[in-house]
Amino acid sequence: MPYERAECAAGTTKCPVRKMLRLVVDAVTGFSLVPLQLATLVGAALLALSLLAAILVVIVWLLGIASPSAAGVPLLLLLLGGIQLISVGILGEYLGRIYDEVRNRPRYIVGEVYGGASTVAHADAVTKPLPVPVTAGEAATTPHAATV
């Protein structure tokens, strides 16, 4: 929802940068699961990158161009880092969904309530019968046809 922020009446802000950064992090992570989903996506990208690099190292080794020993440790780090990020993202998704459930927010917005004190003004709309459909032949013989 866009809004226009008014000028600060007392000059510049007195909040330190550290507090402002903490507020930004709270705003980003407090109402969204997107950072957790990004961790999963980054982990999947690292895993895919490490698998492509492993295929490349095997091809280079089979062609006899270079020895695969120099690339082994970085590939292993990429592989394990990708797996860890995917795992953290999945666990975070579970925790985020559990957190959403325990906040007791409604899953829907109630449009209208029938019965009770809040519908006293709309009591005639609730108890009024639905109109009866009238065909053209019945219109001349039915006394209430003009009101339907």
Residue 22: CB atoms within 10 A of its CB come to 12
Question: Are residues 79 and 48 in contact, defined by beta-carbon separation less than 8 angstroms?
Answer: no
CA dist 122 to 77, 119, 131, Å?
67, 5, 18
- CB burial of 29-43 (b: ≥16 within 10 Å; e: otherwise) equals eeeebeebeebbeeb
Residue 113 near residue 119 (C-beta atoms within 8 A): yes
C-alpha distance across the termini of the chain, in Å: 43
Q: What is the rounded distance in angstroms from the CA atom of residue 89 to the CA atom of residue 36?
A: 5
What is the full per-residue pLDDT of the chain (148 aa) written as tens digits? 677 877 777 777 778 888 888 888 887 777 778 888 888 899 899 899 888 988 888 888 888 887 777 777 888 888 898 899 899 889 988 888 888 778 776 767 667 777 655 444 444 444 555 566 666 555 555 555 455 4
Give exposure, 1-18, as e/b (b: 16+ Cβ within 10 Å).
eeeeeeeeeeeeeeeeee
